[in-house]
Structure 1
């Protein structure tokens, strides 16, 4: 009887990764939205300064002040948040986020709203402006639920709250409700700051450790929870507490405590060790504006300074600073490039910090110098985003260096 024949198990034949398809700009959410946000930032601030100083007679559906405040939140910041989340949710869930024609439709919806804000009519502007956030929130919620990723569902919830604030803004503008349009804008800024607190708490310590060999950060859960809770309470009181002495004292105290808590939170992340790594120090420096802004809002509630000082500390120093840091880092990572920025990119970081310091500190020290502060701050801001566009536009329009999709 012959010996049985032994057959080797067939080895799986490696399959090549699928080749990317479609226009690179429309393969992942960060590409069109980062590009649009940076271009809008470059153009919108000089236009606002020209309107404020009387050098432009452009007539818009909104007053120049409301246009500036609304569009920097729901035009600039929201574009970055949407681009970031449409990209991050794919990584968090492993599920495909909008791409191709669907992504193009979302980006064009955002762009159409920005154009309608200048050209009108107001009803069309409001309709376009109110559509994007609920749509994106629904997309993200469906994906997160499908992947059973409930940890990140609050971020989709925050998008819906932002959509609600936007709705109240438009209702206030047309007089359908008795509410100053500034109140929902302050609420939107507060929600964006809370999103920053959540995302920064995840990425800043992680990025710092990954870039610093041997570093192990010890982050106190108590400090983190206290910082988040106090910030939520303080910002809630700042937005909605009546302008009465007792409420002002309570809001001012809450804002002060929140500022201290966020200083302690930042110190846990060892910001001093990042000074030679621009891609890190921009995140730490920007986050430092958050407690500073909260402290300035507290001072405003105590009646010592104008409210706008704290608003711009949060809007430029914290929000725009974190944005320029994240849209460089994430764009580098998702286009297959090294997480090491060039000197021009570091210059862009410094220019955003200069824009914040000039807009916040110069009028605080010399109120009569506000026009000069606006011009200098706008110039620094626009140059920063011009640098970003010069470097990143080709990258955002091209396939990843490693040939992967995304």
Structure 2
């Protein structure tokens, strides 16, 4: 899910004298800036808060629960990154401005209000605030894609609409307005985000590999990528619909195998010395692994938590940290080169993913230790991103261009 900046005429950067609450401040000039920073900070504090509640530490008056944890990791953290990415990519794809200034400030404020409401407000109020965010972000993206004739990427607006529906179903379930477990809409949203990752990853990872890994000749097959996405969608629908395991398992198995076949054609072994690349390859591998684990879960061989944490912590968080570092460097005018801090972020997320899977299958004492270790790795990775990259996000581009 990483992108590279397109060439455009140099423009004067916003004045350095602009204050953070003014629309001319650099942080409000392009979507990735506020949403990456907010998402990283939220990721760093939300998991410790959830673990404290899980371990029996009182978190009142905050409304921390299993439902809150599941909802906020998807509709809070992941959605913020998706929106920041799409606003940034949308401007690159179309050459038209996506929300900035006051508009971007309002959307970031609405996202933040949603996070506060989910923790402290009555459920109807929290739902009303939280449900506004995705439609108000999808509309400007739809406008720039339609005006530019960029029909190739309009499907992303449709996926944002599906995420909105899933979010609405979650809130209806949480308020007992719908006889549906809140696990179902959250898991549906995870599948939708994985589809976004799969489509965009298949477009850009081979290109980035070819450009950044000396001697590599990755083979990109749009037809094979489309088959993989179709199988993922079918497996996801079967799981959400509660289809028999004998139907879901073959679909998930085929989806996982096809995803891994795509990845192998991109020559991941050529990227081992390039952290900005290997994090994308390794995280994409978790998609295939996640669907293989989903096949096992559909046959009751493993807890479903194993498969969904492979898809979320391994794949989603891995691609997010890889994309946030890459696009921040590129869109602030810095060289696309990862150092020791970036490598540490990447390893922390991947170690956290392994620890979280161990927590789902290990015996009780080991499971608790693994769960705490996963939380430490997760928070450390995103704290490190926030501390390292906040100055980049907060300041104008070093090359003086807009964005």
With the shorter chain as reference, the TM-score category is over 0.9
Residues 259 and 295 in structure 1, CA contact (< 8 A), matched pair in contact too: yes
Which residue of structure 2 aligns with residue 23 of structure 1? 25
Greater Rg over alpha carbons, structure: 1
| Aligned partner of residue 14 in structure 2, secondary structure | coil
1:226 CA displacement: 1.8
Give, in whole Å, the separation in 1 of the partners of 2:10 and 2:302.
62
Which residue of structure 1 aligns with residue 50 of structure 2? 48
Give, in whole Å, the separation in 2 of the partners of 1:19 and 1:226.
43
Give, in whole Å, the separation in 1 of the partners of 2:173 and 2:84.
28
Q: Deviations over 1:145-172 (max 9, x none)?
A: 0000000000011001000110011111
Ranges in structure 1 where 5+ consecutive residues have no aligned partner? 1-14
Residues 363 and 369 in structure 1, CA contact (< 8 A), matched pair in contact too: no
Which residue of structure 2 aligns with residue 118 of structure 1? 119
2:381 to 381, 384, 388: 384
| Aligned partner of residue 385 in structure 1, secondary structure | helix
Which residue of structure 2 aligns with residue 4 of structure 1? none
Ranges in structure 2 where 5+ consecutive residues have no aligned partner? 1-8, 16-23
Which residue of structure 2 aligns with residue 127 of structure 1? 128
Q: Deviations over 1:311-341 (max 9, x none)?
A: 1111100000000000000000000001001
Q: Any residues of structure 2 matched to 1:5-404 within 5 Å, and which?
A: 17-20=11-14, 22-61=24-63, 64-213=65-214, 215-242=216-243, 247-404=244-401
Give, in whole Å, the separation in 1 of the partners of 2:229 and 2:114.
32
When residues 368 and 221 of structure 1 are mapped into structure 2, their CA distance, relative to the original with a 3 A threshold, is same
Give, in whole Å, the separation in 2 of the partners of 1:401 and 1:165.
40
Residues 305 and 360 in structure 2, CA contact (< 8 A), matched pair in contact too: no
Residues 282 and 349 in structure 1, CA contact (< 8 A), matched pair in contact too: yes
Residues 271 and 284 in structure 1, CA contact (< 8 A), matched pair in contact too: yes
1:362 CA displacement: 4.6
Residues 110 and 132 in structure 1, CA contact (< 8 A), matched pair in contact too: yes
Q: Which has the higher contact order (CA 8 A, sep 6+)?
A: 2
Q: Deviations over 1:187-224 (max 9, x none)?
A: 10110110110111111111111112453322233321
Residues 283 and 322 in structure 1, CA contact (< 8 A), matched pair in contact too: yes
1:34 CA displacement: 0.2
Give, in whole Å, the separation in 2 of the partners of 1:362 and 1:175.
30
| Aligned partner of residue 154 in structure 2, secondary structure | helix
Equivalenced residue count is 387
Which residue of structure 2 aligns with residue 10 of structure 1? none
1:42 CA displacement: 0.3
TM-score (norm 1): 0.93
When residues 109 and 367 of structure 1 are mapped into structure 2, their CA distance, relative to the original with a 3 A threshold, is same
Give, in whole Å, the separation in 2 of the partners of 1:39 and 1:71.
13
Give, in whole Å, the separation in 2 of the partners of 1:365 and 1:16.
55
Residues 224 and 265 in structure 1, CA contact (< 8 A), matched pair in contact too: yes
| Aligned partner of residue 141 in structure 1, secondary structure | helix
State the 4+ residue runs in structure 1 displaced beyond 4 angstroms: none
Give, in whole Å, the separation in 2 of the partners of 1:19 and 1:354.
39
| Aligned partner of residue 57 in structure 1, secondary structure | coil
Give, in whole Å, the separation in 2 of the partners of 1:241 and 1:197.
23
Give, in whole Å, the separation in 2 of the partners of 1:69 and 1:362.
16
When residues 393 and 157 of structure 1 are mapped into structure 2, their CA distance, relative to the original with a 3 A threshold, is same
Structure 1, 233-242 or 192-201: larger mean CA deviation: 233-242
Structure 1, 36-45 or 369-378: larger mean CA deviation: 369-378
Give, in whole Å, the separation in 2 of the partners of 1:19 and 1:199.
29
